[in-house]
């Protein structure tokens, strides 16, 4: 069987996880994770520290054994997909070799791939032509990250996996990096990236996957995730109010009362606001703000952490619509 093409069947998703679990002793790092990632999209993989992102990505790359369940990459096992050159990766840690230039590093790495890009093309795509003749071990943290991204794309792979690629980059390096990454996505590559920079995920990702405590919490567009969390925050002052008096407000997702300050996350701020008025209440210093992805992420993970029956119900795109 030739590995030149994606024989997993043209319909096979880029990545599928079926009921995947992984324990480290007593730590349940990944729990019954089922995911399907279509081809040609940029997907943000989000979760708080310790949620199981790196473990999932390492299993997907064939670097860590799957505990139970099944992972397929273009219809193949992770290892087969790796060997066939379908996957390029940039992991969280990993330095660059000493005493060689960036160009030499890329030449070396290209030899590991069955169908590498020309090194000049990699330098161009990763926007690091200016670093080509610099010694690889003498670069700044942000420059090192950009060279590591170049290594990830050097094989012209169909799937590019990036684990917190912009850690340590300043704003300028991050912008250069995301421009290069978006260009790869525009070439039809599937890009799966874990990040803690949620604003960037919001701008760049076609699809957002959120995991918490090793389980799938949400899977949809950025707008879907915001809708799941409650789209807006209504905040006002109302002296003497109790949380109990507000508990039946329509569309309210969470209600917090601290002193005379009330904060409500709502999926429909008009409905919530008019219900307040209908109850004869007169809120003061009213503010209505849209939730960003970061606030939505915090809201859904906090809600899940407060869910003490231990069972998370994954929210999907269908739920949000
Ligand atoms: N090699 C290991 N041995 C034991 N426990 C581990 C190991 N690697 C990870 N863990 C634990 O498994 C859980 C998931 O860790 P993982 O690194 O996959 O999470 P993460 O979402 O990538 O976190 P972060 O955002 O902090 O990088 C955590 O509780 C972590 O402490």
* Same structural domain, 136 and 259: no
Q: List pLDDT tens digits, range 192-204.
A: 999 988 888 998 9
Q: Is residue 54 within 6 Å of ligand 1 at its C-beta?
A: yes
Pocket flag, ligand 1, residue 142 (CB < 6 Å): no
pLDDT for 307: 65
According to DSSP, residue 137 is labeled G
pLDDT at 10: 54
Residues 209 and 238 reside in one and the same domain: no
Final residue of a structural domain among 221, 250, 267:
221
> 169 and 28: one domain?
yes
pLDDT beneath 70: ranges in the chain = 1-11, 307-321
- Confidence (pLDDT) at 12: 81
SS (H, E, C) 158-203: CEEEEECCCCCCCHHHHHHHHHHHHHHHHCCCEEEEECCCHHHHHH
Residue 307 and residue 279 share a domain? yes
Q: Classify 267 as helix, strand or coil.
A: coil
Over residues 94-141, the pLDDT tens digits come to 778 888 999 999 999 888 888 999 999 999 999 999 999 999 999 988
168 and 35 assigned to the same domain: yes
Q: What are the angstrom distances between the C-alpha of 211 and each of 32, 44, 54, 60, 133?
A: 11, 11, 11, 15, 40
Among 170, 199, 221, give the residue marking a domain's end. 221
Residue 33 is classified by DSSP as E
Backbone dihedral region for residue 161 (phi beyond 0: left; psi -120 to 50: alpha; all else: beta): beta
pLDDT of residue 314: 53
| Domain harbouring 304, CATH code | 3.30.70.980
Q: What is the pLDDT of residue 319?
A: 42
What is the distance between the alpha carbons of residues 170 and 195, in angstroms, rounded to a whole number?
15
Q: Which of 67, 70, 56, 53 is nearest to 16 (CA)?
A: 70
User: 39 CA to middle of ligand 1, Å?
Assistant: 27
Mutate which of 51, 56, 92 to test ligand 1's pocket (most atoms within 8 Å of Cβ)?
51
- Note the pLDDT of residue 5: 40
What local confidence, expressed as pLDDT, does residue 302 receive?
A: 87
Residue 136, domain member (yes or no): yes
The pick from 54, 210, 211 for probing ligand 1's pocket by mutation, whose C-beta has the most ligand atoms within 8 angstroms, reads 54
Q: State which residues form the domain around 254.
A: 226-320
CA angle 86/73/37 to nearest 5° reads: 110
Choose the final residue of a domain: 221, 254, 287.
221
Determine, yes or no, domain membership for 6.
no
pLDDT value at position 91? Answer: 86
Predicted pLDDT at 312: 43
């Amino acid at each position: 069987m030739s590995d030149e093409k994606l024989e997993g069947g043209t319909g096979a998703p880029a990545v599928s996880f079926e009921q995947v679990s992984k324990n480290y002793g007593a730590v349940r790092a990944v729990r019954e994770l089922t995911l399907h990632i279509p081809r040609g999209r940029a997907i943000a993989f989000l979760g708080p520290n310790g949620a199981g992102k790196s473990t999932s990505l390492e299993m997907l790359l064939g670097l860590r054994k799957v505990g139970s369940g099944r992972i397929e990459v273009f219809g193949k096992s992770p290892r087969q997909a790796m060997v066939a050159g379908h996957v390029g990766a940039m992991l969280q840690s990993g330095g660059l070799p000493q005493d060689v230039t960036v160009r030499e590093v890329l030449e070396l790495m290209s030899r590991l791939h069955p169908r590498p890009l020309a090194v000049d093309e990699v330098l161009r795509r990763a926007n690091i032509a200016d670093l080509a003749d610099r010694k690889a071990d003498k670069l700044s943290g942000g420059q090192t990250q950009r060279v590591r991204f170049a290594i990830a794309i050097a094989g012209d792979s169909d799937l590019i996996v990036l684990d917190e690629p912009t850690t340590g980059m300043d704003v300028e390096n991050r912008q250069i990096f995301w421009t290069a990454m978006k260009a790869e996505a525009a070439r039809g590559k599937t890009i799966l990236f874990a990040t803690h920079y949620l604003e960037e995920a919001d701008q760049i990702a076609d699809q957002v996957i959120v995991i918490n405590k090793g389980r799938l919490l949400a899977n949809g567009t950025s707008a879907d995730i915001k809708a799941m969390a409650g789209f807006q925050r209504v905040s006002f002052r109302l002296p003497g109010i109790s949380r109990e008096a507000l508990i039946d407000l329509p569309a309210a997702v969470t209600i917090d009362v601290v002193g005379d300050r009330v904060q409500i996350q709502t999926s429909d701020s008009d409905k919530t606001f008019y219900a307040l008025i209908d109850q004869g209440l007169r809120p003061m210093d009213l503010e209505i703000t849209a939730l960003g992805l970061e606030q939505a992420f915090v809201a859904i993970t906090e809600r899940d952490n407060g869910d003490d029956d231990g069972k998370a119900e994954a929210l999907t795109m269908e739920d949000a619509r």
